[in-house]
Amino acid sequence: MRSEKILFLTLYTYSLTGGIEKVSQTIIEVFKELENTHKIINHVTLSLHDLQNFKDHKGFRSNKFLYLLAVLKNAFTSDTIILSHIHLLPFAKLIRKLSPKKRIILFAHGIEVWKPLAKWKQEFLNGIEIWAVSNYTAEVLQKSNHVEHQNISVLNNSLSRNYSYSIKKNSEASFRDQYQIAAGEKLVLTVCRLSSSEQYKGYDLVLLALKDVIKTYPNVKYIIAGKADDMERERVLQLIQDCKLKAHVTLIGYLNEDKIKKLYQLADIFAMPSKGEGFGLVYLEAVANGCSVLAGNADGSKDALLNGKLGLLADPEDGDAIYQGLIQLLQQPITEDEIVGRQQMAEANFGFERYVEKVERLLASPPASEEISVQALS
C-alpha cells in the first residue's frame, strides 16, 4: 500500500453525535483494522474541538494555535493527510505550501461542499483527492465548484464496526408507555436534527401527508426524534396544531444511541423524505432494525437505499407522493423474510468489512493513477 502513515484531521470526533462524527469514528476504526493487519504502519487523529484524548487520538479543546502546531509536526512524518471536513482546508493549504507533494484527501459529505466555494478552495480541490460519500454529492461538487471528476472517488458511508441487526420489534411495555405508543398503533419515525436554517429533512411533508393518512389509518403515531432549535420547534408545533395532529405526533428531542435503537425497533416505518441528504446513515440504521423506509429520490438517499432496493423512494417536493408512499407501506407491511433480505444486502454493500476493503483500495490506488468510480467500489 502506498499510504503507510496516516494523519487524520477532524473538527469533532467524539464530542458530537452527528453523521459526520459517526463517519469519522468509523474511519478511525478502519485505520485500526488496517494497522492491525499491517496494511499501514500507523495512524494519528488530531481533533480541533474534542476534549478527549485516547491512544492515537488527541483533542485540542478548540485551541487553533496548538492544533496548528500539532498538525504541522505530524504532517511532515505522515505519508497521507485525510481531512474530515472542508473547514480544515486552510491547514491542508499550509501543509501543501511547505510540502508540495504531500498526499491530501478530503471527505465530502454534503451541503458543506454543494454551495459555490471561494475560488482558492475550488483551485485547491483540483489538486487533491476527494472521497465523496454519495454519487449525488460527487455530482453537485463537480457542478458547483468545477472540480474535475477524476479527482473524486465515491466512498459510501458504512455502519459502525459493531452495529447490530435486529428483526424483532421492541416490545418493552415501559418504553412504549414512556412515549405513549398504544398496543396496536402503527409507528412512523423520523430521526434528524430540526434546524430553522436548514428545513430540508422532509418532516413537514410527512406531517401534511399524515393529516390525510389518519383518515384511513387512525391508529398511526408519528415520532420525530432529534435536537431542535427553539424557532424550528415552535414552527413544527404550530404545523402540528394547524393539521390537528396533536394526538398523533410527538417531538421527543435528543435521545442517546441506545434509545434511538429501541425506537427503530419499535417503528413500523422510518420516513425522512429529505431533499438535501449527503448520504443518510439513518436509513441504514432503520433497515438494520427492521423498518420499512421512505426517503427522497433527489439526493444522496438514493445511494443509501441502493436506488430503491432497501426502501421506497419518493419525490421530496411532492406531498401526494409522500402520502401515497406512507399508505403503500402501511398497506404492505414488511415481512420477516424481506427484513432479513434487506439487512443482508445492506451488510454486503455498507457493512464495516466492506468499508475496510473500499478504503484500502482507495489508499492503494488514488484517482491520479487509476480512476475509481462507485461501480469499482461496489
What DSSP assignment string belongs to 277-309?
-SS-HHHHHHHHTT-EEEEESSSTHHHHTGGGT
How buried is residue 36: exposed, middle or buried, by Cβ count under 10 Å (0-12/13-18/19+)? Answer: exposed
Q: What is the per-residue pLDDT across 184-236, written as a single tens digit (0 to 9) for each?
A: 899 999 999 999 988 899 999 999 999 999 999 999 999 999 999 999 999 99
pTM: 0.93
3-state secondary structure of 251: strand
Predicted local confidence at residue 318, as pLDDT: 97
Q: Each residue of 274-305: b (16+ CB within 10 Å) or e?
A: bbbbbbbbbbbbbbbbbbbbbbbbbbbbbbbb
pLDDT at 32 over 70: yes
Residue-level pLDDT at 372? 35
Q: What is the mean pLDDT of residues 258-282?
A: 95
Is the pLDDT confidence value at 370 over 60? Answer: no
Predicted confidence band of residue 183 (pLDDT cuts 50, 70, 90): confident
Give the three cell numbers for residue 99.
510540502
- Predicted confidence at residue 3, as pLDDT, reads 61
Looking at per-residue pLDDT, the higher value among 198 and 23 belongs to 23
CB atoms under 10 Å from CB of 159, counted, come to 22
Domains of the chain, with CATH numbers?
A: 5-158+351-364 (3.40.50.2000), 173-349 (3.40.50.2000)
Backbone angles phi, psi at 278, to 5 degrees: -65, -45
Sign of the CA dihedral with 28 first, then 32, 33, and 35 last: positive
pLDDT tens string 321-363: 999 999 999 999 999 999 999 999 999 999 999 999 999 999 9
Separation CA 286–CA 312 (nearest Å): 13
